[in-house]
Amino acid sequence: MTGVQASDGHTVSYSQTTLTELMIPAYANFGGKIHGGTLLSLMDKVAYVCASKHAGNYCVTVSVDNVHFLAPVEVGDLVSLMASVNYVGSSSIVVGIKVVAENVQTATVKHTNTSYFTMVAKSDGSEKAVVPPLILESVEHIRRFAGALRRRRLRRYMTERMDEYKKDFVVDEETRAFLANERCVIRLEN
C-alpha cells in the first residue's frame, strides 16, 4: 500500500458535496419517469467527488449498498444528491448519499433514496492508498460511522454464509420444501 497521509484527518464537512441536476427528457424511460440508471450514474459521480476529496487521491467504486428507489422522479424535477463521508477504513471510504427530487412549480420535495457507496482510494501507481482518518464532530457523525461498520460486518457475514450455501448446494428434500410455495416449477431431467 502506498500514499500514507501524514494528516490528522479531515472533518466530514471538508468533503461534503451536493450535486444538483435538472432531469431532462433524454433521461426518461418509456413510462416517462427517470431511469434508475441515470440516478445511479449521478450517485457514482457525487460519491467519487466526495471520496476523492477526502482521500486526496483518485478512487474506484467497489460496492453499492441499499439502492431502493422509494418514489419515481419526473422529467423537469431538480434532483439533488447530498454526499458525505460516513466511514473510513484503511483504503476504503463509505459515502452516504441522500437523493431528493424537487418539483419547482409545486415546491414539493421528495426523498427518493439513501444509498451507501464504498470507494477505494488508489495512488498514482494504481495501488491501494491509505486514507486519512475521519474527524467525527456530532452524534450523527458517530451514528453514521458506527452504522457503516455494522453494515460492513453484516456484509462479510452474509458473503460467508452465501459462499457456504453455494458450495454445499444440492437439490434435496430440504431444497424442495424451501421452494414449495414459490412461483417456480422444478423440471429436472434426472
80 interacts with ligand COA by CB under 6 A: no
62 interacts with ligand COA by CB under 6 A: yes
In angstroms, rounded to a whole number, what is the distance separating the alpha carbons of residues 131 and 77? 36
148 interacts with ligand COA by CB under 6 A: no
50 interacts with ligand COA by CB under 6 A: no
Output 76 or 133, the one with its CB closest to ligand COA.
133
120 interacts with ligand COA by CB under 6 A: yes
- For 166, the grid coordinates are 453455494
Beta carbon of residue 187, minimum distance to ligand COA (angstroms, whole number): 34
Among 10, 48, 118, 148, binds ligand COA (CB under 6 A): 118
Cross-strand partners of 59? 121
In angstroms, rounded to a whole number, what is the distance separating the alpha carbons of residues 135 and 142? 9
Give the other-Cβ count within 10 Å of 111's Cβ. Answer: 11
* Binding segment toward ligand COA, per CB under 6 A, in 7-15, 50-58, 59-67, 134-142: 59-67
Q: Which of 51, 54, 33, 49 is nearest to 132 (CA)?
A: 54
In angstroms, rounded to a whole number, what is the distance separating the alpha carbons of residues 73 and 20? 14
Residues 6+ apart with CB under 8 A from 90: 1, 128, 130, 131
Among 5, 11, 16, 61, binds ligand COA (CB under 6 A): 61
Output 16 or 61, the one with its CB closest to ligand COA.
61
* Binding segment toward ligand COA, per CB under 6 A, in 8-16, 48-56, 57-65, 168-176: 57-65
Q: CA 136, 85, 91, 149: dihedral to nearest 10 degrees? A: 70
Residues that bind ligand COA (CB under 6 A): 60-63, 89-92, 118, 120, 128
